[in-house]
């Protein structure tokens, strides 16, 4: 199949389920968080994908902070011993922080494909080394006719 024959799938449909952003059938991951090199169904190369620290950032901001606040509340309100934190706060942190990483990473990778995101590039006129020439052309010789 050519790229023109694939229906357009939303990042939420494919990424959260860990499926290929083009065909929606192949696997996006080799392991828990390791991206596969390509889709085994449509052969889409996943080298375009670079979610970087995005999944960890979202989990830290929206999940880890409330989980840590729970542990702090438990400590301040009840002055809980360490063993109580071991059996309450630690599981809450692990259960709320680790499982969302994979769906978030899948969603970010699928979003990069869906929106055709790529690294920003400067056009030749905007490059720093072209700036003196562009200024000289804009100013001209300084005379007005």
Would you say residue 31 lies in a domain? yes
pLDDT at res. 1:
47
Helical ranges in the chain per DSSP H: 11-15, 54-59, 65-78, 82-87, 89-97, 101-114, 131-139
Contacts 24+ apart (CB under 8 A), 112-116: 112/48, 112/49, 112/50, 112/51, 113/11, 113/21, 113/22, 113/44, 113/48, 113/49, 114/8, 114/9, 114/10, 114/11, 114/21
Would you say residue 144 lies in a domain? no
Would you say residue 57 lies in a domain? yes
Q: What share of the chain is helix, strand, coil (3-state, %, to 5)?
A: 55, 5, 40
Would you say residue 32 lies in a domain? yes
pLDDT at res. 141:
54
Could you say which residues of the chain have pLDDT below 70? 1-4, 125-145
- Tokens representing residue 15 in the block: 């990424």
Parent domain of 124: 3-139
* Residue 68, number of CB atoms within 10 A of its CB: 15
Query: How buried is residue 64: exposed, middle or buried, by Cβ count under 10 Å (0-12/13-18/19+)?
Result: middle
pLDDT digits over 4-27, tens only? 578 899 999 999 999 999 999 999
Would you say residue 145 lies in a domain? no
Number of domains in the chain: 1
């Amino acid at each position: 199949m050519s790229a023109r024959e694939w229906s357009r799938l939303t990042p939420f449909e494919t990424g959260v389920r860990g499926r290929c952003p083009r065909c929606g059938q192949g696997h996006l991951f080799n392991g828990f968080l390791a991206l596969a090199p390509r889709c085994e169904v449509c052969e889409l190369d996943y080298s375009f994908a670079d979610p970087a620290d995005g999944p960890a950032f979202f989990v830290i901001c929206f999940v880890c902070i409330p989980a840590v606040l729970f542990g702090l509340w438990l400590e301040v309100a009840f002055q809980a011993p360490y063993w109580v934190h071991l059996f309450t706060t630690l599981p809450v942190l692990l259960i709320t922080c680790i499982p969302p990483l994979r769906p978030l990473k899948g969603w970010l990778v699928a979003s990069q494909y869906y929106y055709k995101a790529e690294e920003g590039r400067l056009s030749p006129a905007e490059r720093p080394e072209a700036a003196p020439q562009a200024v000289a052309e804009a100013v001209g010789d300084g005379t007005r006719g």
